[in-house]
Amino acid sequence: MDKRYTHLSDIQRDAREGTLTIGALIEHYLQNIKAHNPKHNVFLNVFEDEARQSAAEIDQKLQKGTAGRLAGLVFGVKDVLCVTDKELSCGSQILNGFRSQFTSTAVQRLLDEDAILIGTQNCDEFAMGSSCENSSFGPVVNGAGENRVPGGSSGGSAVAVQMDMCHISLGSDTGGSVRQPAAFCGVYGLKPTYSRVSRHGLVAYASSFDIIGVLSNSVEDAALTLEVIAGADEYDATVSTEPVPAYSELPATDKKYRIGYIQEILESNSLEPAIKEASFSLIEKMKAEGHEVTPVSFNYLDYILPTYYILTTAEASSNLSRYDGVRYGYRSGNSKDLESMYKKSRTEGFGEEVLRRILLGTFVLSASYYDAYFTQAQKVRRIIQEKTLQMLEDCDFVLSPTTPTTAFALGENTQDPLQMYLADLYTVQASLAGVPAMSIPRGEDLDGMPIGIQLMTSAFNEVQLLSFSKEVADM
């Protein structure tokens, strides 16, 4: 099978017409994984036998007309999502040898609709990174460039979709970890409203930010996937009980939207010229379609990244305290007593970036600095959220580049953490405010590296976000 499918509807049509079997589709993806994985380091585990068995069962269901809504959807999951009896490492040695005892709700809901899980995908350790270079299993390499990062932390998930190793991927987005790699790899990246999708079975990094998102080659498949995985869950008390709309219908509308673009971002000298050009080109096309596009000002841009990193490192310091070498995972063989076992296990098991964030988080939570940093950051987060929501009352959408640059070279920013953190500059606002956002592919720069444009909208407005993203994709 040489054909590349970008829409699940095409797979299902060909399967109904008898020109495609799900078994052949699985072999196609397995061949691509075998061909590309050694170089690009995307999949940590590939479930060949289970995928083939599931494909045979689904082919039978299709013949009988009893297949689920997602029959033919082959997906991978970022290595922070639990799958029963499968290795879970979060890209870290601290979980060496650990196997999940249950399957995350989002993954199970896809399986229940006859989607097929093909494997787990490499990522920055504990989802902490913007380049997928922090994994203890080595960096992921972007499919669009010989020596380029794929973005992070869901870099493996983005490259898997980019290079046709699976149809869609589930990733996690804490401050842009779905949208930023989607932009770097030229695929769609959807971050839903915080609480829209159950976090049961998602390993925690920063619990008040974490959300499961979707990487895909089409808006339609992102919408259908969200429709299946969203909604109330008895295992997650923080998930929203708001009804789940029919996202997959993508209702067409002649409505002309009010779109704001943040003036300070598009006029910034730090924005790569090709991305600026792509942004203004899209703005002109939107105007030509009759939409009202106006500049808006957001006076809190300088506070977004400091606020985000203070709060997320504080939450990470707390969440990662459970990895102690006692109950599961890595335990140092060089310890002399209980205290040294704790210290050595965590020092040896965690990578440099994770240690940096744990230390920073512990510092901002310490008695002497709690009020000066953590409490103040919580207050600023509330201000940023309120101002963002006010902006979205005046605009249906806020448009911005997804990233300030296209994918940079491997190793380019590893010695400068601050420069690396700047890759999240435009994605973090939606995470602080808890609102949905989507990265849409928008051409390439002169080096052939993909460009992404982000749309952000108000909470639980995914129907409009997905419908308009489809319209934008066709502009």
Active site amino acids: 78, 153, 177
Q: Are 388 and 397 in contact (CB under 8 A)?
A: no
Rounded Cα distance, 276 and 283, in Å: 11
Rounded Cα distance, 80 and 97, in Å: 15
Say whether the peptide bond before residue 153 is cis (omega within 30 degrees of 0). yes
269 Cβ contact partners less than 8 Å away, ≥ 6 residues apart: none
Q: Are 69 and 61 in contact (CB under 8 A)?
A: no
What residue spans of 260-375 are helical by DSSP H?
263-266, 273-288, 301-319, 338-349, 352-365
Facing residues of 171 across strands?
A: 213
User: Which tokens is 226 given?
Assistant: 């969200």
Q: Tokens 């310490």 identify what position? A: 366
Task: Please list, residue by residue across 363-395, b when 16 or more beta carbons sit within 10 angstroms of its beta carbon and e when fewer do.
Answer: bbbeeeeeeebbeebeebbeebbeebeebbeeb
Three-state secondary structure call for residue 304? helix
Q: Are 407 and 381 in contact (CB under 8 A)?
A: no
345 Cβ contact partners less than 8 Å away, ≥ 6 residues apart: 94, 324, 325, 330, 331, 332, 335
Report CA 341 to chain centroid distance, whole Å.
34
Detail the DSSP E strand segments found in 122-227: 168-173, 188-191, 211-216
Facing residues of 261 across strands?
A: 295, 399
